[in-house]
A and B are shown apart, each in its own frame.
Chain A
Amino acid sequence: MAEISVRMGELATSSDADTPLVSIGLGSCIGLALLDASAGVAGLAHVMLPGPGGDAAAKRPPGTFADTGVPALLEAVLAAGARRMCLTAVIVGGAQMFGGAGRMQVGQRNEEAVREALRAVRIPIARAETGGGSGRTIRVYLDDIRVTSRAAGGTEEILYGAGAMAVAA
């Protein structure tokens, strides 16, 4: 099955049941999935930094900063056929892999900024799999709108969609 790889700073959408979206190896980055299950449309952004993106954002891939990346992803999924009121979000990543003193808490700040940007556009978060010290891979399957997360050396866990365990976000 061909999948669309969303690399650091990038974003992409899919409405093709056979074309999942994936961000491999999220460390301090956040994988943000926006989903409209009824329309069968999803988008994925691989957010690298909280922002503010400001003038720099125009020169960077559209998903680089949380403050500019969230609206950019929203616009992209709406253009791909998602309906505004049906959208829900899943966030994965934001780990602190290098935790030494004096290092920026990039992972935590990324998560806070993504949550803030989602609040601003009034999209609820259905599930968050964030923090900790390990990298993760997020996959968004379009055949039945499922989101999974897999840590390094771990198994693929269903976060959203059929088979997901109910957990507060």
Chain B
Amino acid sequence: MRTNYTEIELDALRELANIGAGTAATSLSGLLGIPIDVNVPTAAALPLADAIDATGPAELCVTGVAIPLDGDLVGSALMLFPEQDVATLCGLLGLEPDSEYAESALGEVVNILCASYLGALGDMTGLQIELGPPEQVYDMLGAIMGSILAMSVGASDVALMLDSALIIEGQACSLSFLLIPSADGVDGLLAQLGLG
């Protein structure tokens, strides 16, 4: 079992995340009709408890939308929305945050962003990546991350997380997009990049 990755490997994964997030940003920009920026993504392999801490305070209540990944890339894609960002995003979509449409709209946004991000990844690597249906919860960050990590990377000593932020221009709102491949998933990505 791999417990660490070289800087070259992490750079390659960062570049994948960069292209994935860039494609997702273009989709989101089309959806909202405003410019979306992306940050430089982070790629880090951390012991699982540290991986949870890296996403924020464990007791913070957030909305999490997870999409299970299968096929040539097993793992999870996850978007985390602090309460204020749910309100901002719903406002931009012309929805009340508490309305019955808000939840399905949020799921649909995540669906579109994941499809864009992972579509770009699939195109670049030649991997067939299957997306499951989005699942949405509102809960403590620690509980969301712990459950996702147990399902996705439980067998590994470390979790490799690719973290990108989609920054909505003029809104002080940035959407965190996390890709958490299984250990085999990471190896598969690296192999396709000629680093396996």
Q: Which residues of A contact B (CB under 8 A)?
A: 7-10, 24-29, 48-49, 56, 59-61, 95, 97-100, 102-104, 106-107, 133-137, 152-153
Judge whether A135 and B150 touch: CB under 8 Å.
no
With the chains together, A127 CA to B151 CA distance in Å? 26
B52 at the interface (CB under 8 A from A): yes
Q: Pick the contact of B139 from A7, A27, A104 — CB < 8 Å?
A: A27
A9-B142 contact, Cβ under 8 Å, with A98-B148, A100-B135: no
Q: Quick check: A102 and B49 within 8 Å, CB to CB? A: no
Give B134's nearest chain A residue, CB to CB.
Answer: A100
* B141: interface (CB < 8 Å): yes
- Cα–Cα distance between A107 and B59 once the two chains are bound (Å): 19
Interface size on B, residues (CB 8 A): 33
Contacts of A107 in B (CB 8 A): 147
Determine the main DSSP class of B at the interface with A: mixed
CB B56 to nearest CB in A, in angstroms, measures 11
Q: Which residues of A contact B68 (CB under 8 A)?
A: 98, 100, 102-103
Q: Is the CB of A25 within 8 A of B146?
A: yes
- Asked if B147 contacts A152 (CB within 8 A), the reply is no
Q: How far does the Cβ of A153 sit from chain B's closest Cβ, in whole Å?
A: 6
Tell me which of A59, A60, A106, A133 contacts B151 (CB under 8 A): A106
List residues of chain B with CB under 8 Å of any chain A CB.
Answer: 1, 3, 47-49, 52-53, 58-59, 61, 66, 68, 132-133, 135, 137-151, 154-155, 157
Residues of A contacting B140 in the complex (Cβ-Cβ under 8 angstroms): 24-25, 27, 135, 137, 152
CB distance from B48 to the nearest CB of A (A): 6
* A144 CA to B151 CA, complexed, in Å: 36
Whether A25 and B137, one on each chain, are in contact in the complex, defined by CB atoms closer than 8 angstroms, is: no
Given known A-B contacts A100-B132, A103-B68, A136-B143, A56 and B137 have beta carbons under 8 A apart: no
Contact B132 A27 (CB under 8 A): no
Q: Which residue of B lies closest to A28 (CB)?
A: B147
- In the assembled complex, which residues on chain B have CB atoms less than 8 Å from the CB atom of A10? 49
Minimal beta-carbon separation of A10 from chain B (angstroms): 6
**In the complex the two chains form, is A9's CB within 8 Å of B150's CB?**
no
Residues of A within 8 A of B157 (CB): 56, 59-60
Q: CB within 8 A of B144: which of A100, A104, A135, A137? A: A135
Q: For B48, give the chain A residue with the smallest CB separation.
A: A8
Q: Which of A7, A10, A27, A49 has the most CB of B within 10 A?
A: A27
* Given the contacts A95-B147, A136-B143, A152 and B49 also touching, CB distance less than 8 Å: no
Is the beta-carbon distance between A98 and B135 smaller than 8 angstroms?
Answer: yes
Q: Which residues of A contact B59 (CB under 8 A)?
A: 24-25, 137
Q: Measured between C-beta atoms, what is the minimum distance from A65 to chain B in Å?
A: 10
24 contacts between A and B (CB under 8 A): A8-B49, A10-B49, A24-B58, A25-B52, A25-B146, A26-B146, A27-B143, A27-B145, A29-B146, A48-B149, A48-B154, A49-B150, A56-B1, A56-B157, A61-B47, A95-B143, A97-B137, A97-B139, A98-B148, A98-B151, A102-B68, A103-B151, A134-B139, A135-B144
